[in-house]
Amino acid sequence: MGRRVVVTGVGLVTPLGTGVEKTWSALCEGKSGIGPITRFDASEVGVNIAAEVKDFQVEDHIDKKVAKHLELFVQYAVAAAGEALRNAGLQITEENASRVASIMGCGLGGLPTIEKYHQVAMEKGTKRITPFFIPMVIPNMGAGQISIIYGTKGPNLSLTTACAAGTHAVGEAFRSIVNDECDVAITGGSESVICPLAVGGFHAMKALSTRNDQPEKASRPFDRDRDGFIISEGAGVLILEELEHALARGAKIYAEVAGYGLSSDGYHMAAPPEDGNGASRCMQMALKDAGMGPEDVDYINAHGTSTPLNDVVETRAIKTAFGDQAYRLAISSTKSMTGHMLGGAGGIEAVFTALAIKHQLAPPTMNLENPDPECDLDYVPNQARKMKIRAAMSNSFGFGGTNAVLIMKQYEGKP
């Protein structure tokens, strides 16, 4: 048997609260992080709701002078990584730094700063562009700044696979440890693009909910009346660790990472194939990688975006991958409360998956009032559920037809 990988620390910055405790308790209570957009005047856009991070104080996490030159998505990543490291009780030293990786996912990077300095350049000339512009906007700066601030010297990677980026990052970190490229990985996803270009762009695609008068009810995955996703921001970070390394330092273990799948639809730039073929193959690949059968999984944290197409197609894909077991699974979309964090979604949902296993509790899918007849599985409607979770799956699918699936399981000690 090869090297085994466990989750020993978690960190979150989300619209439900900064920190794991705030977010997890709000999630399990079915609270919503969605409300009116405050970052800019959205009255002309057609969509004026989003899931904004509300309680983040950057000086609590990063030196103010350093933070001044970091985009929000980087600030969130660094803060969540700091919480995860403290949570894991992990010290990065000169001796172990080269065996610690920083591997993060991000979809759109510093779009708000691109928007801002494009305006500056057009109105005042390019000489007014800050020298920090390029380092602020490039999407790999989450992973880069985590490495710089916390002193990691192992693999330093950023995945930009749209809404699958966070899950791909955790999967690639898992593989890096299995392949003995590192012993520890700080990994997850972050995003912050609640700005006119992103909101206007997604709205032009008809991807966003326009339920402006009921923000908390707007994200309704698998519900007949869903009309699009809610743009969100934040970060989710995990500490993955090689099992012997974790045991040697007496680390607490949330879950064991068991399998990872990745595939392509090869179909369309923004829509999945109606049969969900790419997604189902991805789930089957993760099951095979974990050495598991469909009957071994109890819970799925669904991609569950609340768009008309995704939720039906994901349901079909789950049925294809799991057969009869699909009807015995508990499935929930936490995006019903957090909104859709784009490239950061897979990071926070990987944290939620580890916490679901640790607490033996499936978070709810909120606002599931009138189930879509084509979405006929058990989506844990409107109330969290205490249940036995031996193994759990987390799904993420992105534009460009890219799919990523993780499987975690209860850690039951050696062998």
Q: What is the CB-side half-sphere exposure of residue 242 using CA atoms within 13 A?
A: 18
Q: Which residue has the tokens 């349901």?
A: 315
**Considering 61, 168, 203, 340, which one is annotated as catalytic?**
340
**Considering 182, 203, 303, 375, which one is annotated as catalytic?**
303
**Considering 106, 163, 182, 195, which one is annotated as catalytic?**
163
Both tokens of 381, joined, read 């409607």
SS3 217: helix
Q: Which residue has the tokens 């089957």?
A: 284
Note whether 336 and 221 are within 8 A (CB).
yes
Of 199, 331, 197, 177, nearest in space to 243 by CA: 177
The whole-angstrom separation of Cα 3 and Cα 1 is 7
- The full DSSP string for 8-61 is EEEEEEETTEESHHHHHHHHHTT----EE--SS--TTTS--EEB---S--GGGT
Sign of the torsion formed by the C-alpha atoms of 297, 298, 299 and 300: positive
Sign of the torsion formed by the C-alpha atoms of 286, 291, 293 and 295: negative
Is 340 annotated as catalytic? yes
Is 118 annotated as catalytic? no
Burial of 18 from C-beta contacts in 10 A (0-12 / 13-18 / 19+): buried
Helix axes 308-322, 277-290, angle to 10 degrees: 40
Tell me the C-alpha to C-alpha distance, in Å, between residue 413 and each of 150, 244, 408.
Answer: 30, 11, 14
Q: What is the CB-side half-sphere exposure of residue 381 using CA atoms within 13 A?
A: 13
Active-site residue set: 163, 303, 340
